Amino acid sequence: MHDDPHFAPAAAGFQALQDRICAALEGLDGTAFRHDDWTRDDAELRGFGRTRVLEGGAVLEKAGVNFSQVHGEFSEAFAATMPGAGRAFVATGISLVLHPRSPHIPTVHMNYRRLSRGNVGWFGGGADLTPYYLDLTDVRHFHRVHRDVCRSYADVVDWPTLVRDCDRYFVLPHRGERRGVGGLFFDHWGEVPERMAEFVAAAGNAFLDAWLPIAQRHLADGYGERERAWQLARRGRYVEFNLVHDRGTLFGLKTGGRIESVLMSLPPLAAWPYDPHVAPDSREAELLRMVRAGYDPTSDPDL
């Protein structure tokens, strides 16, 4: 099918990471993930995947942790946007989105992947945090964990570059807002594949260290109808980004991916109130100022 020597080790690592993350999240929530294993063998796509979904939990209103390993052919138009030659491709990756029930626990996304087309292979992915209420302790912790991973692989990755690219990628131009407070993002990285494979594994394994303490810190925080309404409105922004701009979603849709897995990232509930306004001195306004101006962890003296 392919001769990418980094494909099988990456796939095995992603499956092990999926198991580890799901076990930790079940321990946090007390609710088991639904296991939905699938295979594809048709004209559009061939391969298999493991979809893990938790819905209606005590902490996680909806959580999805997906693994897939597929091969097929790009359309001519989509192939033109990818490195390599020909239309045949292979892809494997892990992707997760966690939508907590509490507005005080941030939504979080992580995705790492290996793709090959012709004789060109590359890694891509990253992780980012999307809070509903701003807590700089949380934001700094999330960035600090990822910074430390990047510094361990400074020979192949540059933390400020990954931060900058994340800030540029997770943007809703029509809103003039970033999706959240950033993290890491990179794509089409094929240089020094052995070290990049190690970096991707380390970054994936750091996910629980980056997000789990944040969730645990806010488990007892109370909230009411106002906070819930704000959370649903901000989730609407999340939906807009994922359906219009997200490369993973578009990749799945344009390659005939399994639709339930492709749209796993969408929240169970969201809202689009007409022309909403917030008080200038409110915590809602504080978050808006952050996502409009942006946050640069590389220049934060307290990180």
**Of residues 90, 35, 28, the one with CA closest to residue 65:** 35
The 3-state DSSP class for residue 174 equals: coil
Q: Using alpha carbons only, how large is the chain's radius of gyration in Å?
A: 19
Cα–Cα distance list, 250 to 76, 77, 290 (Å)? 15, 13, 27
Burial state string for 129-167 with b = 16 or more CB within 10 A and e = fewer than 16: bbbbbbbeebbbbbbebbbebbeebeebbebeebbebbb
**Class of residue 281 by CB neighbours under 10 A (exposed 0-12, middle 13-18, buried 19+):** exposed
Q: Distance between CA atoms of 143 and 150, rounded to whole angstroms?
A: 10
Q: Which of 291, 296, 288, 289 is nearest to 164 (CA)?
A: 296
Nearest to 192 by CA among 230, 153, 229: 153
Which residues lie across from 48 on neighbouring strands?
Answer: 39, 69
Given a contact cutoff of 8 angstroms between Cβ atoms, the answer to whether 130 and 203 are in contact is no
CB atoms near residue 293 (< 10 Å): 10
Residue 256 DSSP class:
T
Give start and end residues of each alpha helix (H) in 134-278: 136-152, 159-169, 193-205, 207-217, 225-244, 247-254, 259-262
What is the bridge-based pairing of β-strands 120-130 and 171-172?
Answer: unpaired
Query: Hey, which residues are catalytic here?
Result: 109
